Amino acid sequence: MDYRGYVDLLCSTEDCRSELEEVLRVFVELLDDVKELRLPDLDVDPSRLPLLAGGVRGGLEGVLEIVKDIFRRHELDVGYVSIRDVIEGSLEGERALVSMLFKRALYEVVRGKDLRLQWVNGRCPVCGSLPILAIVRRERGEIFSRDVLYLRCTCGFAESYEHFKCPSCGVRGRDAFEYNIVGEITYRTCSRCGHTIGILRDNPNLDLDLIMLVVMYGLVALAKERL
């Protein structure tokens, strides 16, 4: 699917389409560079989660520098960004994009290690973020097929999760959420804590990194509408 296909999952206006298409194009260029680079191997301790906040024995600064170099090569000046900034999630604009791609790079480093990680109180075991994207996949059981919900973190970590449970506050039940349908995406907002996730049905042709960006873009647009 080209960018337009992704943009059409969300946008109904031409302004939305052209802006989101540009966001996707820039992001994919940066992400392709991250994927092409040889990232250093990191020594991780899966008993200390999230990995980003304690489970990596050294080497994180090196990965962050590699990611910042990629931004510089694309003539995006991101100034000073520390590991602490990334962990605290206090960055905005292009600096937030550095944080996102750094976490994505960290996941690329740990994904092959067969760590069998699970969500930790609804947070990502790799980077500690709260997921905002869920993909519903039809899976064949022993007798019946069933829908399985996978939460996917911005870093790339994905694992199944309970259908009607908020990863942020843990509240359960179909009625605990408000639903907003925007294009093909169902935004589900927790009535207790306000955390929102965008839910889509799986399509093997979809690139989940692009879907993540589309869902994030829609979240910001939804939040603005509410103000």
Residue of 169, 206, 221, 222 that binds Zn ion (CB under 5 A): 169
- Name, in order, each residue with C-beta under 8 angstroms of 218's C-beta and a sequence gap of 6 or more: 10, 182, 183, 185, 187, 198
Residue of 69, 192, 203, 207 that binds Zn ion (CB under 5 A): 192
Site string for Zn ion, 135-164 (x = CB under 5 A): ------------------x-x-x-------
CB–CB of 46/115 below 8 Å? yes
Closer to Zn ion by CB, 11 or 126: give it.
126
Interactions with Zn ion, residue window 194-213 (CB under 5 A): 195
Closer to Zn ion by CB, 7 or 107: give it.
107
State in angstroms the smallest separation of the CB of 194 from Zn ion.
7
Residue of 106, 126, 185, 219 that binds Zn ion (CB under 5 A): 126
Angle at which helix 93-110 crosses helix 60-73, to 10 degrees, equals: 130
CB–CB of 156/111 below 8 Å? yes
Residue of 87, 96, 193, 208 that binds Zn ion (CB under 5 A): 193
Closer to Zn ion by CB, 11 or 161: give it.
161
State in angstroms the smallest separation of the CB of 212 from Zn ion.
11
Q: Where do the DSSP E strands lie in 49-175?
A: 133-140, 145-152, 158-161
State in angstroms the smallest separation of the CB of 10 from Zn ion.
22
Interactions with Zn ion, residue window 23-82 (CB under 5 A): none
Give the residue carrying structure tokens 């042709």: 205
Phi/psi at 5 (5° precision): -60, -40
Cis, peptide link before residue 50, omega less than 30° from 0: yes
Q: Is residue 127 close enough to count as binding Zn ion by CB under 5 A?
A: yes
Tokens of 189: 């907002």
Give the span between the Cα atoms of 118 and 153, in whole angstroms: 12
Closest CA to 123 of 86, 170, 83, 60: 170
Closer to Zn ion by CB, 171 or 206: give it.
171
Closer to Zn ion by CB, 97 or 166: give it.
166
Residues near Zn ion (CB under 5 A) are 124, 126-127, 129, 153, 155, 157, 166, 168-169, 171, 190, 192-193, 195
